[in-house]
Amino acid sequence: MKMTYKNSNQQTSLDTERDTSHRLLLQKADASIRQALPTVSDTHRLHYHLMPQAHWMNDPNGLVYYRGYYHVFYQHHPYSSDWGPMHWGHARTKDFITWEHLPIALAPSEDYDADGCFSGSAVVEGDLLHLFYTGHRVIDGELIQVQCKATSSDGIHFIKDRRNPLITSFPSDGSPDFRDPKVWRHHGSWYMVLGSGRDGRGNVLLYKSQDLTQWEYVGVLAHSDGTQGTIWECPDLFPLGDRHVLLISPMGVKDRRVMYFVGDMDYDVGKFTPEYVGTLDYGPDFYAVQTFSGTERRLMLAWMDAWECDIPSKKDNWAGALTLPRELVLDESGKLRAQPLPELQKLRQRSISVARSFVVEKDQSMPLTDLQDACLELNLVLALNSSTASHFTLCFCYTESSEQILIRYNKATGELYLDTSKIHVGQPGLYKAALHPPGERLELRIFLDRSSIEVFANQGEATITARIYPRSQTTIPRVFALDGQIKVKSLECWNLAK
């Protein structure tokens, strides 16, 4: 039974005590970060991505535009560079270039979230900013996850709702893995999706509310076909053009790749009918994606690391980062594309331009620029219909070591590869994305930061994201042709602001 608090002196005293306890825990967490700052090593620190000031970061949470700022909350352990009881870290920006770190927003402080304030979302109602999150506990090995809310009038300081938890247990269609509320408004009603699973199949559960507090279970919005994961995490449903898109992060699959479904949403019956399924990013370090609330464009961020990989920066007292912000659009075929935001052009500094058209001869290599930097953007267009080579390779060759990052393209199959096996620290691998059908040109837009690479092919038709930890600080891009000529139609390269 749901408890209703009475307006009594006793209850007011209890509420004040809880607010004070939460505030003190937040102050303690902020103090831990300040104390850790001098110990954070710069070895692999990124220059133009959002990352924690110190210690652990994972999922982006509560992405929202509020009072002139894009707010980004994130899963955060402020006491260690390892995962631990989750808090909500907080940063904001006006332009996605300059970030302001704010006080930690949420800390485990109640019985219902004693082991962590897990992932969730944010919405604006009137002048208030509402955070929805999963309260996490493990009691005698039993997982207990409930849905909670916190509210702020300034976007910085948050008070947990007196009525928490708002949703106290999972429905029969779900399981104890019952988390990551994403909330939005449609035709005057509020909706929430939650990630869960049943009988080895991941699913998304739908709830409905008129007041953001009382939530009614509607039913299973969508579910796995049996091959798409046992638990679906971090669901996100939104309109795009005249369709709806569902994003999920699957557990229980060999490679954790964020999946997207394009289809139609029937709010009358609470069902989403997918017509197309795809992979949002083909790299190893892209998970827990979420889109912003309160923006005209559909903007997204993802966690740029992975549970399965070692994170070398832990020894430097920090771990985790978020991807570059990307805009999601549907192309003419109804597939989802992810493109870097135009705002990121403000990062560009020194430009190196090569002739608009040149040829790389058979079995030769050519340096593309004299720009030697570990933070750069490179835009390359190949004229495939004028090229006779069977394979093309772009190599980022590090100047102070034998390390290399290789980007390969197979003209016959249309397969694009990112090869990080020649980086000596971290998790080496070979990652493949298929571009269908192989076209007359190949466009690559590549962002290289100190310890990350993000590859965008053909205006976001496919993306590959990976963390890399080279020992060298500078690199020279070179292009190789195999068994024929490669016609480079255009090349632009910039070093980026640090």
For the question of residue 59 being annotated catalytic, the response is yes
Residue indicated by tokens 């969508």: 222
Active-site residue among 19, 59, 113, 255? 59
Cβ 368 vs Cβ 416: under 8 Å: no
Per DSSP, the residues of 224-276 read: --SSS-SEEEEEEEEEETTEEEEEEEEESSSS---EEEEEEEETTTTEEEEEE
Q: What are the two backbone dihedrals, phi and then psi, of residue 293, each rounded to the nearest 5 degrees?
A: -100, 145
Spatial distance between the Cα atoms of 88 and 77, rounded to a whole number of angstroms: 8
Cβ 50 vs Cβ 303: under 8 Å: no
Cβ 58 vs Cβ 290: under 8 Å: no
Cβ 15 vs Cβ 159: under 8 Å: no
User: Which H or E run includes 482?
Assistant: strand 475-482
Residue indicated by tokens 């210690």: 55
Taking residue 308's Cβ as centre, other Cβ atoms within 10 Å add up to 12
Cβ 201 vs Cβ 156: under 8 Å: no
Instruction: Kindly list the catalytic residues.
Output: 59
